[in-house]
Amino acid sequence: MAKKTVKTAWFCTECGAESSKWEGRCPVCGAWNTMVEERVATATASPAKGASRQRRATRAMAVNEIEALSEPRIMMPSKELNRVLGGGLVAGSLVLLGGEPGIGKSTLVLQNLLSIKSRTILYVSGEESATQLKLRADRIGRGSDNVFIVCETSLETIFDHIEAVQPSILVVDSIQTIASDALDSAAGSVGQVRECAARLLKYAKAENVPVLLIGHITKEGSLAGPKVLEHIVDAVLQFEGDNRYMYRILRPIKNRFGSTSELGIYEMARTGLREVSNPSEMLLSHDGGDGLSGVAIGVTVDGARPFLIEVQALVSTAAYGTPQRSVTGFDSKRMNMLLAVLEKRVGFKLAQKDVFLNIAGGLRVNDPALDLGVICAILSSNVDMAVPKGWCMAGEVGLTGEIRPVTRIEQRISEAAKLGMTDILVPSGNLKGIDAASAGINIHEVAKVEDAFRAVFG
């Protein structure tokens, strides 16, 4: 068999052109900063006479011939993490966890690992020292004799530690800090991230050991490194939130072993991350804005999980020539569209008024069903009349002022009834096939924005 030597070459990510050295501009397609380093293997000796390459015997199989086996899963201590993963961590899987700096990625992983007592775990840190990780473990209030910490950035040395420890779970924090000696480029480059991830994937599948990769994100919000990194991993989890607020959301972007519609919510506390099993109770103020204008409760769904959110609005006469429009946690362009609908279709003069909108709790909501809650909060502040206590709403508002149907209306109604709401506004015709009598809450169907205004304020 031919002996092979490994060398590297530079390839353009746009056109695939090959070069023996790095060039700022691709000589073929002319694209800038697209050359990445990759390993290539070349044969230096001809095979022996009469020798033939051995191929593994494979056979095409019909779908009905394939035996579907259930994937063994490792249950994590966090129920929210298990839900997002689809029922636990699958053996031999490669999971990528991304998020902004300081959002709590390492804390989430470490506090889960420290609670597992029956498995040997290797935590590879390329960013923090062992002392820093020990201080974090003390802050979380958990210790462990089966979680081993190694601070290393060389991929080859990491595999030496893997051989010595023989872990049941491997964590690499972070993949952008790991570099292989086979490439000359710096850690975090496209070639290094691709090579290290491919080697770790091969290890995970060959040894049936789950590997957790922690990754950085760019200023645009996408995961740093090549896009192929997201393709080769089995699951991509996004840990998001605002450092100025206490809530964090764990959202699956890709999951080969579960649904991407699940959602995990955590609260950042002094002793680590605390699971929020019922986010609706925490996202609502204790008095629910009782007696205050400009407060409405919207029923939203993120993924497959419904919860109630408090929408706060303040409408006042513009003190300066140009009215202000300030939005927190909601799409500013969509709010401007809703204000135009109120101006044109309902007759409320808001063009010369300041409008401030805030989603309580620091969350950002993209569900169009929150439109009706935003409308009611703005109208409540404009006429200085409070929304009756126990009322909530869910509905999308169109440009003609109609209330459009929304998805998962039965789950929204059930969540509102479970939290003690007495009345809910829903789009007209959205209750087909649903037994409204047994919902445990008064349901008001509205077709237009003016209908919602009359139903709430009389």
Structure tokens at 302: 């993120």
pLDDT band at 48 (very low <50, low <70, confident <90, very high): very low
Least confident of 69-83, 163-177, 384-398: 69-83
| pLDDT greater than 80 at residue 45 | no
Distance CA 205, CA 297 (A): 47
Residues shown for the chain: 458
pLDDT band at residue 287 using 50, 70 and 90 as cut-offs: low
* Per-residue H/E/C for 333-401: HHHHHHHHHHHHHHCCCCCCEEEEEEECCCCCCCCHHHHHHHHHHHHHHHHCCCCCCCEEECCEECCCC
Tell me how far apart the alpha carbons of residues 437 and 450 are, in angstroms, rounded to a whole number. Answer: 25
Q: Is the pLDDT of residue 365 over 60?
A: yes
> What was the pLDDT predicted at 383?
92
Closest CA to 234 of 265, 203, 211: 211
Residue 201: how many CA atoms within 13 Å on its side-chain side? 16
Which residues does residue 300 pair with via DSSP β-bridges, in sequence order? Answer: 307
How many Cα atoms sit within 13 Å of 20 on the Cβ side? 0
Amino acid letter for position 79: K
pLDDT value at position 49?
46
How many other C-beta atoms can be found within 10 angstroms of the C-beta atom of residue 244? Answer: 6
**Residue 198: other Cβ atoms inside 10 A:** 15
Report the range of poorest mean pLDDT among 105-114, 273-282, 304-313: 273-282
pLDDT at residue 53 tops 60: no
- Report pLDDT for 217: 85
Q: Which residue would you say has higher pLDDT here, 372 or 292?
A: 372
pLDDT for residue 94: 95
Helices and strands (H, E) in the chain, number of each type:
11, 23
Mean pLDDT in residue range 410-427: 92
Instruction: Determine what percent of the chain is predicted with pLDDT higher than 70.
Output: 93
Residues 6+ apart with CB under 8 A from 347: none
Cβ neighbours of 117 (radius 10 Å): 10
Dihedral angle computed from the Cα positions of residues 296, 302, 304 and 308, in that order, rounded to the nearest 10 degrees: -20
64: DSSP letter: G
Among 149, 139, 205, 202, residue whose Cα is nearest residue 173: 149
Indicate whether 132 pLDDT > 60. Answer: yes
Supply the pLDDT for residue 40: 65
Residue 75 vs residues 69, 82, 275, 395: alpha-carbon distances, Å = 18, 7, 16, 37
Distance CA 232, CA 257 (A): 14
* Position 46 confidence tier, pLDDT thresholds 50, 70, 90: very low
Residue with tokens 């620091």: 362
- Long-range CB pairs of 162-166, under 8 A, 24+ apart, other chains included: 162/122, 162/203, 165/120, 165/122, 166/120
Q: Is the pLDDT of residue 273 over 50?
A: yes
* pLDDT digits 0-9 by tens, 221-268: 778 777 788 889 999 999 988 777 788 889 999 999 988 888 888 988
